[in-house]
Amino acid sequence: MSRFLVFLGAGASRALGVPTMRELVPAIFDEIEEGRERDLFDEIMGGFKRHRVTPDIESIFSIVDAIAKDLTAEDLGYPSWYLVSEVLQESPRSSLSSGKRESQLAENLLTTLKERVRALCSPETLDTGGPELFRPFLNLFQELETVQGAFAPPSDSRKGPFTRVQFPIFTTNYDFVVERLFHGRGLLNTPFMLDETRTPVFHVSQLNANDPRLVKLHGSFDWYLLRDGRVVEHPKGGGHVGDVPIDAQVMLYPIQQKDLYLRPWMDLLAQFKLDLSQRDCWLFIGYSFQDEFIRTVIKEALHSGPKRMVVLHPHPSDILGWLDRDEKPKVTTVSDRLGSSSAAVRAAKSFGVVPV
């Protein structure tokens, strides 16, 4: 079994021209038409601006989603409850929205935002770049091939390293970079299986399928929850899948962390924890470690045996303050971006030669 695990953050997609979570906000700003949706969006952005905070798109999604669901501070957990009740001296049961009309407005705005973001991150957008668009990943795979255990023997060398990847790929990105990366280059396993109607349906058993596997810990633009409880891949959402209505898009935002105790989030995180424990070489690319649940799982796994963690990020010292003193020796940082002339070589060399 391979001993490698690769984790892709927003910085990895950035190498292919996909905007980062923070870059998506100004990218969609001018595309929201004047009107009540734009007014609500401006109001939310104004709150960030007053406190000199530059939000990313997940932050915007979180706030708009909370207003759409008519959530209260009490719904958001004890820290929010304490802030509102003790510091602001207001009722924690007060809704974030001002009524059903604003909730509906927020729901409409959330739909608009997702459509805009999806268009910027669509497979069609990636396809316009041609094969050379994926050169950063190709270079990285070729360099990792020099590290023992990263790849299986080539079945057909003419197809290149994409057919020899023998490790799982985890990501919190919603985009389709990895799917397009492997498109036409070999099989990529995902947690979905076709049912009798040829609809891809989420199956827990597929999370531990043969490598290469893709596990999207925060969901995807094309994951939807059906009324009967199934999670499916669907190109556009809305309407029905067969006779079953689509209830919601399956995407996890920071404000919804409590949902990690529900499926499919619980299953996805459990698989990540299992793979970390079974593999001793981890490569994190362009990830900022803002998800506290993921940080906790990583910290636990660092103590589960000999581990080697490499972080490829332009500013690694800014994102690893959560590590304890005894954990830091297991972590090697590479101050670079995927796609630079030296990133792939430096990341691979950070592992050295790993005995099989």
pLDDT-derived band at 352 (thresholds 50, 70, 90) equals confident
Co-location of 284 and 329 in the same domain: yes
Check whether 158 has a pLDDT greater than 90. Answer: no
Co-location of 174 and 270 in the same domain: yes
Co-location of 39 and 151 in the same domain: no
Co-location of 32 and 175 in the same domain: no
> pLDDT, tens digit, for every residue of 257-311?
555 556 788 899 999 999 999 998 999 999 999 888 899 999 999 998 889 999 9
Co-location of 170 and 270 in the same domain: yes
- Tell which of 120, 152, 173 closes a domain: 120
Co-location of 11 and 108 in the same domain: no
Co-location of 116 and 130 in the same domain: no
| Angle at alpha carbon of residue 266, lines to 261 and 272, rounded to 5° | 140
State how far the Cα of 239 lies from the Cα of 267, in Å rounded to an integer. 27
- Tell which of 120, 141, 171 closes a domain: 120
Co-location of 173 and 97 in the same domain: no
Domain count, the chain: 2
Higher pLDDT, residue 16 or 318: 318
Co-location of 271 and 167 in the same domain: yes
Neighbours of 297 (CB within 10 A): 19
What is the DSSP track for 105-131? Answer: HHHHHHHHHHHHHHHHT-HHHHHTT-G
CATH number at residue 196: 3.40.50
In the structure encoding, which two tokens stand for residue 251, read together?
Answer: 């995407």
Check whether 133 has a pLDDT greater than 70. Answer: yes
Co-location of 146 and 284 in the same domain: yes
* Domain around 293: 4-17+124-349
Co-location of 96 and 164 in the same domain: no
